[in-house]
Amino acid sequence: MIRSVVRGFGAALPKRVLSNRELESMVETSDEWIVQRTGIRQRYIAGEGETTASLGADAARAALANAGLSAEDVDLIICATSTPDNTFPATAVNIQNRLGITHGFAFDVQAVCSGFVYAVATADLYIRGGMAKRVLVIGAETFSRILDWTDRTTCVLFGDGAGAIVLEAQEGQGGLADRGILTSQLRSDGSHKEKLYVDGGPSTTGTVGHLRMEGREVFKHAVGMITDVIEQSFEATGISAADVDWLVPHQANKRIIDGSAKKLGIPPEKVVVTVDQHGNTSAASIPLALATAAADGRIKRGDLVLLEAMGGGFTWGAVLLRW
Ligand code: ACO
């Protein structure tokens, strides 16, 4: 059977680092509060000329180089983002143009912080359905541009960046020893809209709007939703938490990550954490964390890797794959 195998990975971050200390001069907050409540120590902020598409294209180039491929070898580009360069065309098409190709097709996926998990699951279906052989799956965001920088309850949490992987169709045996995606589990429930949303849009206000969040409410639902889809992934495959080599969670908050890992019985040394360095970069956070842990040699070929995310909508999901 056809499996969607990770052939390469890459990441891109803006030049500018914004520390918690610097934030202290912008809103009434403290490094201590931010670290204690979230685990975040710094985040990257896009400057002039740095956009979701430029960061996404840089991450895509890095992933192609890591895979030993060129843009010519790719037939589909999926970009997960909630902060597109323009309302349309899709950021993925913008990235396709920046990569200098006109063949194949490209589109965006919008599932906020779960966007990368949704995009990977979508790419896997295109590959297994025979519509694509190599897919660039990108998570790219510039959340700094939709933050209300006077609202200390949200502006300290988010950052900008992009990550990408190349998924390739490869022949597998159909068993759990195969490399590639073994299962994807996706969920959403729109009744939670008011807890995490942007208060603008083309069809309502005609403006871009700002991110609004009831942090405590989001927190309350996060661990349960995340662990539910992970347990569904275990049920679908017969894999158990003890078999997992690496949990690569969405990087929203260290306490959510720790709480989820503890509930699942996954020890901290198997959890990839980058939220301290990147803040919450929404759809970019998982591919950024994947690229970090693969580049430093933690994630190795053959490792069982569990991705999970939960975000605005609410949307949530998990992907279990062998690297
Ligand atoms: N600096 C200092 N004090 C602050 C700040 C700040 N930046 N922000 C809020 N406070 C204050 C509040 O005003 C409140 O003060 P009060 O007690 O006098 O009213 C106090 O700190 C506690 O506020 P809470 O909201 O109860 O703090 P909590 O412990 O819940 O932490 C946080 C807030 C970090 C947002 C937490 O609820 C959280 O992480 N929620 C999950 C949300 C999340 O991660 N969303 C990301 C997007 S969704 C996703 O990706 C999963």
Q: How far is CA 64 from CA 52, 148, 232, in A?
A: 18, 35, 32
DSSP code, position 20: H
Q: What is the mean pLDDT of residues 13-29?
A: 98
- Residue 60 is predicted with a pLDDT of 99
Instruction: Give me the domain span that covers residue 237.
Output: 180-322
What's the CA gap between 45 and 60, in Å, rounded?
19
DSSP of 223-265: HHHHHHHHHHHHHHHT--GGG-SEEEE--S-HHHHHHHHHHHT
Q: What are the DSSP calls for 195-225, one per residue? A: GEEES--TTTTSS---EEE-HHHHHHHHHHH
pLDDT band at 124 (very low <50, low <70, confident <90, very high): very high
* Ligand 1 geometric centre to CA of 153 (Å): 6
**Among the atoms of ligand 1, which is closest to the Cα of residue 152?**
7
Last residue of a domain, one of 109, 136, 171: 171
Give this prediction's pTM. 0.97
Kind of pairing, strands 105-109 and 76-80?
parallel
pLDDT of residue 45: 98
Q: Which two tokens stand for residue 44?
A: 């990257």
List pLDDT tens digits, range 131-173: 999 999 999 999 999 999 999 999 999 999 999 999 999 999 9
Can you give the pLDDT at residue 201?
Answer: 98
User: What's the CATH code of the domain at 222?
Assistant: 3.40.47.10
Average pLDDT over residues 255-280: 97
Report the distance separating Cα 270 and Cα 94, nearest Å: 36
- 3-state DSSP call for residue 132? coil
In the chain, how many domains are there?
2
**Claim to verify: residue 156 and residue 193 sit in the same structural domain:** no
Distance 313 CA to ligand 1 centre (A): 19
* Rounded average pLDDT over 44-58: 98
Q: What average pLDDT does range 198-213 have in this prediction?
A: 98
Residues belonging to the active site: 113, 250, 280
State whether 30 and 138 are in the same domain: yes
Read off the pLDDT band of 58 (50, 70, 90): very high
Query: What is the mean predicted confidence (pLDDT) over 1-24?
Result: 98
Residues 149, 18 share a domain: yes
| Minimum-distance ligand 1 atom for the alpha carbon of 112 | 50
Atom of ligand 1 nearest to the CA of 156: 7
What is the 167 CA–ligand 1 centroid distance (Å)?
A: 37
Same domain, 29 and 166: yes
Q: Can you give the length of the chain in residues? A: 323
Average pLDDT over residues 182-191: 98
pLDDT band at 266 (very low <50, low <70, confident <90, very high): very high
> Is 59 in the same domain as 159?
yes
